[in-house]
Structure 1
């Protein structure tokens, strides 16, 4: 299942400026609620970023791939109505430990961040 993506810089910056934050050793999550109005509510969107501090381009891309897979698994388990009309913009920021962590632990980190920010019940 492909998740709708955040691609524009202004959307990343808005989530960083006004969104809720949660951090775990494997990742940082910024969750920005998007006002939903009626049946045309915005779907949940996800963006991924990794800073140059983490490593070179190969390392950063591998880190983003791990985050994408974790998001695909964890949000795939979420209620379907959350994905269709969730009204959230989620930005997952990779850390140095993202690529070193066990994948199950990384998914647990993501679940914890989603619950802490109120995206998942």
Structure 2
């Protein structure tokens, strides 16, 4: 189970991650990953003194949310898929940079997918989303 600080709950948080995040789909899942932008401390934006915010930024936990629509199946099936995805993301959330936001959307194929297949699809989608974001920031 994810800690309360690691869960996305507000629709505005979901919308921000889906609109502003990097999307990658593999097999039974689609992930939207938003990683924090590291500010360059050598370029102050105002005449105010530059303060060190690294402590504040490092305390922001990575957060995750899940979207499992009725297209996946009935309530029992949707909850089973959500529980599986939640456990898979819990294991991988520590590997994401601090302050990241992850939204995992289950596709209808997730209803019949096995746990190892969901894990493989999630890992592949996260790898694509992270590598694309890292290439862009260079």
Identify whether the pair has TM-score above 0.5, normalized to the shorter chain.
Answer: yes
- Aligned CA-pair RMSD: 2.2
Q: What is the CA distance between 1:93 and its match in structure 2?
A: 0.6
Match of 2:78 in 1: 60
C-alpha separation between the residues in 2 aligned to 1:31 and 1:22? 8
- How many residues are treated as equivalent by the alignment? 114
C-alpha separation between the residues in 2 aligned to 1:2 and 1:50? 17
C-alpha separation between the residues in 2 aligned to 1:11 and 1:75? 17
Residue 91 in structure 1 maps to residue 103 in structure 2? yes
Where do 1:1-121 residues align within 5 Å? 2-3=2-3, 4-35=6-37, 37-41=53-57, 42-75=60-93, 78=95, 82=96, 86-118=98-130
Q: What is the CA distance between 1:13 and its match in structure 2?
A: 0.6
Stretch deviating more after TM superposition (6-15 or 103-112): 103-112
Q: Is the 8 A contact 1:21 1:31 kept in 2?
A: yes
Report the secondary structure of 1:54's partner residue.
coil
Report the secondary structure of 1:71's partner residue.
helix
Cα deviations by residue, 1:59-87 (Å, 9 ceiling, x for unpaired): 211111111111123336x3xxx4xx622
- Structure 1 residue runs of 4 or more that deviate by more than 6 Å after TM superposition: none
TM-score (norm. length: structure 1): 0.81
Stretch deviating more after TM superposition (97-106 or 39-48): 97-106
Structure 2: 5+ residue stretches without partners: 39-52
